[in-house]
Amino acid sequence: MTTTLSPEKLHAPQVTDQPLVVVEAHKSWVRINLKDLWAYRELLYFLMWRDVKVRYKQTALGAAWAILQPLLLMLIFNFFFARLAGISSGNVPYPLFAYAGLLPWTFFANAVTGSGNSLVGSTNLITKVYFPRMFIPAAAVGAGLVDLAIAFVLLIGLMVYYGVGLHLSLALLPVVIILTTLLALGVGMLMSALNVRYRDVRYALPFMIQVWMFASPVIYPLPEKWHTLFSLNPMVGIIEGFRAALFGQPPDWSALGSSAAITLAILICSVFAFSWMEKGFADVI
Amino acid sequence: MKPIIKIEHLGKRYRIGAQQAAYGSLRDTLAGAFRAPLRLWQRKVRVSASSFWAVKDVSFEVQPGEIVGIIGRNGAGKSTLLKLLSRITEPTSGRIELYGRIASLLEVGTGFHPELSGRENIYLNGAILGMARAEIKRKFDEIVAFAEVERFIDTPVKHFSSGMYLRLAFAVAAHLEPEILLVDEVLAVGDSRFQRKCLDKMQEVGRQGRTVLFVSHNMPAITRLCPRTILLDGGRVIGDGPSSQIVGAYLSSGLGTTAERVWADLSTAPGNDIVRLCAVRVRTEDGEVSDALDIRRPLVIEMEYEVLKASHVLTPNFHFYNEEGIYAFIASETDPAWRDRIRPEGRYLSTARIPGNLLSEGTLFVGAAISTMSSTTIHFYERDAVAFQVIDSLDGDSARGDYAGQMPGVVRPMLQWSTRVLLESNQPVAAQAGEGAR
């Protein structure tokens, strides 16, 4: 576009005032359209808001489900692991220990499941309107944060009940939550994109989540022996970090660091893989 | 003037069978990867052989404020072109430049969530269509008033009647104020009142100096609303100019109506290794091939095909669409001689006779197919294989009688009417008149 005021510009201000949109085949392997992501940012908010609003519609218990899920699991695991198997959870009472692990885990599991199935559930949007597709799985993860906040209420109650005081280490908590969100986003986005092409994901995902849970120290303390092997699982650093922040224990910086590095790697791969597959969504979904 | 839309050598290639491949499981892909590289190479060859260009080498420009009609047979690439323009799908080649916001009336109600209230859905749908929150807020009252749903605005839309739902959805789309509006009439669901509203909105948008692209099979609407029309065939632009001229050319060229189609080369004809289509024809009752048929006279549709392998029970069938894209009816072979009987190899001719005084006037597009019903296998389906015009005379002896105006409907049967007097008035007409005079 020329900067001089040409006569043609005077005659057609309504055209040249508008931003130019170019649609063409992408020769480059991957393209991330940051301009579009920014232009549609309000849509991310609306999609998240929709997911939150719709989640507990027509349920009798409503948002109480956000607390019930980890609470019931905690009670079951308390019975089997603490009472029957006699697993020791150190100086933290087992119910509190388990709940503090189940909290980030439930968020992560629900976020990954929700976003993994989100694109396939939005077929009519994808085939009819253009907008950055990335927002669909992202909104599903974001909506899970609301559940996490609700479940936190019970955690505070448990901490008061067991007399756990406030620690300076609580400052670490937001960092750990952001890390969990990014990991859920990375895994969820990748799964949602694969799900468009391979519906196997729908069946594999719940199984994968279950296995992943047992591979993470959610309901048992981290065995010292296999520390290195375990730290390959990014959820290990996250859950351990979550507990350390709550109970004022010294955080395991190396586990947290490797967790952050793996999360970032997954997220970057996922974003690129998603943008690569994105252009075919409307044709194959 | 600088064009608002500039399309250069645009192309979009689809793979036939991509749908099946898409749903194919991971196992197939993994299994494929483990097989010899030769196999992978073979697969590639097969894919390239079964791909087709839905849109190929399309170039044109649209000036701001123009209303352009887009016409062509089903499968000519019209809808794909709109999908490319609205960025739903990415082109395989070429480029589009456009200025400003694009909205299409084919996405009415997209993203509505049944559990959310009318109010919530206005915001959600507006955001999905690309409106800013402040903009939706500003137009909110106007949208609600337009949709006439004030009293139910806080009710979940799943409790809305379908009419209310549609009105609300349309109201949001109508208040988007895009620089470019895309209208795909075939996809515009709803009753005639709603379609009327779509057309009115289009005209209004045009008057405001905005740009409209209008895809339709409705030739009168095209010539009435659009000064310029683009004709597509086989994914290419084959005509671009004043609507009356292009529509006329389309209707008389045989693209619009072809009474006879013959596939001379059996290897490229529609079909598979079981059966292939050789020809489809429309004939008058006297056996003459014709694309203009009298509404009162019977007509014959015939399909010639070659059975290459005697392995299936085959049922030829015809599919009739009118010019608005409405599915008028399907006719399947009912010849008792071939019921549950496998057809031996050879050449066949199946004919179907359509009685006079059944079809409505206008253009009918006929798709020809051969299926096996027991396993629901479609051996081929040739969309718009032939087309013909049904012409209603004004002689007064057709179902329209002496009425000369528009008669909607997909059929125009001649029914047996009779009227008899149930109760005569007490006094004869003459006596009444006499009394009045006194």
Contacts of B120 in chain A (CB under 8 A): 50, 53
- The mean pLDDT value for B37-52 works out to 51
How is the beta sheet containing B51-62 ordered, strand by strand?
A: A20-24, B93-99, B5-15, B51-62
Task: Please state, in angstroms and rounded to a whole number, the distance separating the CA atoms of residues A71 and B246.
Answer: 70
- pLDDT at site B363: 80
**Paired strand residues for B96:** A23, B7
* Residues in chain B closer than 8 A to A123 (CB atoms): none
pLDDT of residue A7: 36
**Encoding tokens for residue A109?**
């599991």
Gap between the Cα atoms of A51 and A45, Å rounded: 10
Out of B93, B110, B133, closest to residue A25 by CB: B93
User: Which H or E element spans position B197?
Assistant: helix B192-207
The pLDDT value recorded for residue B437 is: 44
User: What strands, in cross-sheet order, belong to the sheet with B180-184?
Assistant: B102-104, B180-184, B211-215, B67-71, B228-233, B236-242
Q: CB distance from A6 to chain B under 8 Å?
A: no
Amino acid found at A146: V
Structure tokens at B393: 């005379």
Write out the two tokens for B329: 């009816």
Nearest to A233 by CA among A255, A249, A251: A255
Who has greater pLDDT, B142 or A28?
Answer: B142
Q: Is residue B25 predicted with pLDDT exceeding 70? A: no
Closest CA to B10 of B54, B45, B51, B40: B54
d(CA A273, CA A270): 5
Q: How many CB pairs under 8 A join A and B?
A: 133
**B306 and B266 in contact (C-beta within 8 Å)?**
yes
- Identify the residue with better confidence: B141 or B26: B141
Q: Pick the range with the lowest mean pLDDT from B39-43, B176-180, B375-379.
A: B39-43
* Cβ <8 Å between B22 and A284: yes
What pLDDT is stored for residue B256 in this prediction? 54
> pLDDT value at position A118?
93
Of B1, B88, B113, the CB nearest to A128: B88
Please answer whether residues B358 and B412 qualify as being in contact, where contact means their C-beta atoms are separated by less than 8 angstroms: yes
Going through B252-334 in order, the beta strands assigned E by DSSP cover 260-262, 275-284, 292-294, 299-307, 315-322, 327-332
Would you state the pLDDT for residue B31?
57
Does B109 contact chain A (CB < 8 Å)? no
Query: Out of B172-181, B316-325, B423-432, which region has the weakest mean confidence (pLDDT)?
Result: B423-432
Q: Does A282 contact B113 at a Cβ distance shorter than 8 Å?
A: no
CB-based burial of residue B297 (10 Å sphere; 0-12 exposed, 13-18 middle, 19+ buried)? middle
Q: pLDDT tens digit string along B422-435? A: 988 876 555 454 44
pLDDT band of B326, cuts 50, 70, 90: confident
- Separation in Å, CA A171 to CA A155, A175, A218: 16, 8, 21
Most confident of A6-15, B34-43, B132-141: B132-141
pLDDT at A22: 81
- CB within 8 Å: B90 and A26: yes
CA–CA dist B77, B54 (Å, integer): 5
C-alpha distances (whole Å) from B316 to each of A245, B307, B355 are: 73, 12, 19
Kindly list the strands in the beta sheet with B327-332, ordered across the sheet, starting from the edge strand earlier in the chain.
B292-294, B377-391, B362-372, B315-322, B327-332
- Among chain B residues, CA nearest to A281: B89
Average of pLDDT values for B199-218?
79
Percent of chain B at pLDDT > 70 equals 80
**Residue whose C-alpha is closest to residue B283's, from B297, B266, B265:** B297
Output the average pLDDT for chain B: 81
For residue B378, the tally of other CB atoms under 10 A from its CB is: 11
Does the distance separating the beta carbons of B25 and A282 come in below 8 Å?
no
Instruction: Residue B87: list chain A partners with CB under 8 A.
Output: 21, 23, 130
A130, closest residue in chain B (CA to CA): B88
Q: What is the reported pLDDT for B165?
A: 82
A28 touches chain B (CB under 8 A): no
Q: Report how far residue A42's alpha carbon sits from residue B36's, in angstroms, rounded to the nearest whole number.
A: 49
Q: What pLDDT score was predicted for residue B253?
A: 66
Cα–Cα nearest to B277, from B345, B347, B341: B347
Structure token digits, residue B200: 């009115």
Residue B321 confidence class, pLDDT cut points 50, 70, 90: confident
Q: Identify all chain A residues contacting B47, using CB atoms and an 8 Å cutoff.
A: none
Q: Which residues in chain A touch residue B92, judged by CB atoms under 8 angstroms apart? A: 25
State the burial class of residue B37 (Cβ atoms within 10 Å of its Cβ: 0-12, 13-18, 19+): exposed
d(CA B212, CA B180): 6
Burial of B170 (0-12, 13-18, 19+ CB in 10 A): buried
Span B283-297, average pLDDT: 87
B84: number of Cβ within 10 Å? 24
Q: What is the mean pLDDT of residues B155-182?
A: 83
The whole-angstrom separation of Cα B170 and Cα B126 is 11
Q: A283–B128: do the CB atoms touch at under 8 Å? A: no
Task: Compute CA distances A134 → A126, A138, A205, B112, B152, whole Å.
Answer: 11, 6, 19, 19, 33
Based on C-alpha coordinates, what's the Rg of chain A? Answer: 23
CA distances from A149 to A56, A67, A96, A174 (A): 15, 10, 17, 12
Verify whether the Cβ–Cβ distance A42 to B132 is below 8 Å.
Answer: yes
Q: Of B89, B115, B128, which has the smallest distance from its Cβ to A282's Cβ?
A: B89
Containing B385, the helix (H) or strand (E) segment is: strand B377-391
- Whether residue A228 lies within 8 A of chain B, CB to CB, comes out as no
The pLDDT of residue A72: 92
State yes or no: pLDDT of B270 exceeds 50: yes
User: Which is higher by pLDDT, B1 or B254?
Assistant: B1
pLDDT in tens, B49-105: 477 889 999 999 999 989 999 988 777 888 889 889 988 888 999 999 988 888 876
User: What distance in Å separates residue B148's CA from the closest CA in chain A?
Assistant: 24
Query: Does residue B436 register a pLDDT over 60?
Result: no
**B106 vs B82: CA distance, rounded Å:** 10
Report yes or no for ipTM above 0.85.
no
pLDDT in tens, chain A (285 residues): 333 333 333 333 445 567 778 887 765 555 677 888 888 888 999 999 988 888 888 788 888 888 898 999 999 998 888 888 877 777 888 999 999 999 999 999 999 999 999 999 888 888 888 888 999 999 999 999 999 999 999 999 999 999 888 888 889 999 999 999 999 999 999 999 999 988 899 999 999 999 999 999 988 888 877 777 888 899 999 999 999 999 988 888 888 999 999 999 999 999 999 988 888 888 887
Contact of A130 with chain B, judged by CB distance below 8 Å, is answered with yes
Counting Cβ atoms within 10 Å, is residue B47 exposed (0-12), middle (13-18) or buried (19+)? middle
Burial of B394 (0-12, 13-18, 19+ CB in 10 A): exposed
Among residues B205, B3, B136, B127, which one has the least CA distance to residue A18?
B3
Closest approach of chain B CAs to the CA of A253, in angstroms? 39
Which residue of B89, B90, B116 is in closest CB contact with A53? B116
Predicted local distance difference test score (pLDDT) of residue B41: 45
CA–CA gap between residue A223 and residue B111 (Å, rounded): 48
Mark yes or no for CB contact A128/B106 under 8 Å: yes
> In the structure encoding, which two tokens stand for residue A212, read together?
């992943």
Smallest CA–CA distance, residue A27 to chain B, in Å, is 10
Instruction: Give the residue from chain B lying closest to A201, CA to CA.
Output: B26
In the predicted model, is pLDDT for residue B43 greater than 70?
no
As given in the structure block, the two tokens for residue A161 are: 């009940």
- pTM score of the predicted model: 0.70
Query: For position B364, what pLDDT does the model report?
Result: 86
- pLDDT higher for B434 or B10? B10
Residues of B in contact with A42 (CB under 8 A): 127, 132-133
Q: Which pLDDT value is given to residue B195? A: 61
Which residues of A, range 34-93, sit inside 8 Å of B by Cβ?
40, 42-43, 45-47, 49-50, 53-54, 57-58
